Amino acid sequence: MGFRMGIVGLPNVGKSTLFNALTKTAAAQAANFPFCTIEPNVGEVAVPDPRLEKLAGIAGSKQIIPTRITFVDIAGLVKGASKGEGLGNQFLANIREVDAIAHVLRCFEDGDVTHVEGRVDPLSDAEVIETELMIADMESIERRMANLTRKLKGGDKEAVAQERLLKQALAALETGKPARSVEVTEDDRKAWDMLQLLTAKPVLYVCNVAEDEAASGNEWSAKVAHMAAEQGAGHVVISARIEEEISQLDADEAQMFLGEMGLDEAGLDRLIRAGYDLLGLQTYFTVGPKEARAWTIRKGTLAPQAAAVIHGDFEKGFIRAETIAYDDYISGNGEAGAREAGKLRVEGKSYEVKDGDVLHFLFNA
């Protein structure tokens, strides 16, 4: 599984510049890392992972297939979006379909780029969008609770559970806190996710800074970092203009340019890694002469469920998983060497897959 990240922000914060740069960068990647445009505002890019190329090199894989992330450039937001102002309805509909929100905040001064509020204040910008989402959630909750009335009178257990969760969310929202601040038990997780509350989505704050501040950030990005820490959210500092320039360069030129800017890696890499951390995602690999492939799963996923990411039948007929840790695969120079060194393990249904595992699943057809 990959994941969908919605890029949101007020007008003129660099949201679309960042989206266009990220997707152009992906288009410029080697043939093994293709880019495809699904819709005008949706781009799918390969998740950069140098481990995959190393594995492919050892196994002599003919094809390298990375896991993928989908970026959704969500319609610009203005005050009143929850009431349908601007492209509000489209914004709210699109945001329900993503796994996480990358909230682009303007952390730069530029007299040629007018801020919609006439000032640079990323914390206030964040509050505008959060407030609109909270208003939309409260209205949604009130409608849902009204629709549950008949089922509640009939003693419907599912409706009772849904009402309880809706009330918990509403209580948080009425005190000015997003739905993601509600502690949800594992038993309630599925029902909670089905509520599709906008403020339940994990948030990654993207501080868009000037080119000369990309490596160190600035006072505004520092304030955003503090806010993110208080909320348990993620944050990353990026210069959309640098990303735009990188998108026009080949790999060697891009690396040289990054070095000149004092950066170790492109913003795309940092953004994706921060998104993975935010959602608790990790990667495992399948490797062979035909292809080396990366697969995305949530941390804590058991072997049968990890196998299901490849094909549902793998989970149904799961027998065992032959497992080699990434470092053991590299040090053994492949499966044979790892096996001879006693590093290949046979794991059953209760095995919790680790990041970097090289797996081969055995199953009944």
- In whole angstroms, give the CA distance from residue 339 to residue 326: 13
Q: Quick check: is 154 in a domain?
A: yes
| Feature table: binding site | 12-17
Residue with more model confidence, 292 or 316: 292
Chosen domain end from 220, 250, 279: 279
Note the pLDDT of residue 32: 37
Question: Which single residue is written with the structure tokens 């060497």?
Answer: 337
User: What mean pLDDT, rounded, does the chain reach?
Assistant: 85
**pLDDT tens string 97-140:** 898 999 999 998 876 555 555 678 999 999 988 988 899 899 98
Q: What is the CATH number of the domain that holds 317?
A: 3.10.20.30
Note the pLDDT of residue 79: 57
Note the pLDDT of residue 90: 64
Nearby residues of 358 by Cβ (< 8 Å), 6 or more positions away: 55, 284, 285, 286, 287, 323, 324, 325, 326, 329, 335
Residues 244 and 323 in one domain: no
Residue with more model confidence, 168 or 17: 168
| Feature table: binding site for ATP | 12-17
Number of H helices, E strands in the chain: 15, 13
Q: Quick check: is 219 in a domain?
A: yes
Q: Quick check: is 140 in a domain?
A: yes
Note the pLDDT of residue 1: 55
**pLDDT tens string 228-257:** 999 889 999 999 888 888 888 888 888 898
* Domains held by the chain: number: 2
Residues 266 and 153 in one domain: yes
Collapsing DSSP to helix, strand or coil, 69 comes out as strand
The domain of 101 spans 3-279
The least confident of 2-11, 193-202, 319-328 is 2-11
Q: How many CB atoms lie within 10 A of CB 152?
A: 13
Cβ atoms of residues 68 and 42 within 8 Å: no
Q: What is the DSSP string of 1-28?
A: --EEEEEE--TTSSHHHHHHHHHHHHHT
Cβ atoms of residues 134 and 169 within 8 Å: no
Q: What is the DSSP string of 192-217?
A: HHHT--GGGS-EEEEEE--GGGTTT-
**pLDDT tens string 290-313:** 999 999 999 999 999 999 999 888
Q: What is the CATH number of the domain that holds 17?
A: 3.40.50.300
pLDDT band for 180, please (50, 70, 90 cuts).
Answer: very high
- In whole angstroms, give the CA distance from residue 176 to residue 166: 15
- In whole angstroms, give the CA distance from residue 324 to residue 356: 9
Mean pLDDT of 343-359: 96
Relative orientation angle of helices 88-95 and 122-147, to the nearest 10 degrees: 80
What's the pTM value of the predicted model, to 2 decimals? 0.82
Residue 264 has pLDDT above 70, yes or no: yes
Residues 309 and 171 in one domain: no
Note the pLDDT of residue 61: 96
Residues 205 and 118 in one domain: yes
Mean pLDDT of 160-174: 93
Residues 215 and 171 in one domain: yes
DSSP state of 352: B
Relative orientation angle of helices 122-147 and 157-174, to the nearest 10 degrees: 150
Note the pLDDT of residue 158: 85
Return the percentage of the chain with pLDDT > 90, whole number. 46
DSSP state of 186: G
Q: How many CB atoms lie within 10 A of CB 209?
A: 24
**pLDDT tens string 20-61:** 887 765 443 433 334 344 455 788 888 888 999 999 999 999
Collapsing DSSP to helix, strand or coil, 363 comes out as strand
Residues 261 and 321 in one domain: no
Note the pLDDT of residue 318: 93
Residues 306 and 272 in one domain: no
Return the percentage of the chain with pLDDT > 70, whole number. 88
Residues 251 and 307 in one domain: no
Residues 170 and 305 in one domain: no
Residues 189 and 244 in one domain: yes
Chosen domain end from 215, 244, 279: 279
pLDDT band for 91, please (50, 70, 90 cuts).
Answer: low
Cβ atoms of residues 28 and 250 within 8 Å: yes
Residues 267 and 313 in one domain: no
Cβ atoms of residues 128 and 79 within 8 Å: yes
Q: How many CB atoms lie within 10 A of CB 9?
A: 27
Query: What radius of gyration do the chain's Cα atoms show?
Result: 23
In the sheet with 68-73, reading across from the earlier edge strand, the strands are 36-39, 42-46, 68-73, 3-8, 100-106, 203-208, 234-238
Length of the chain, in residues: 365
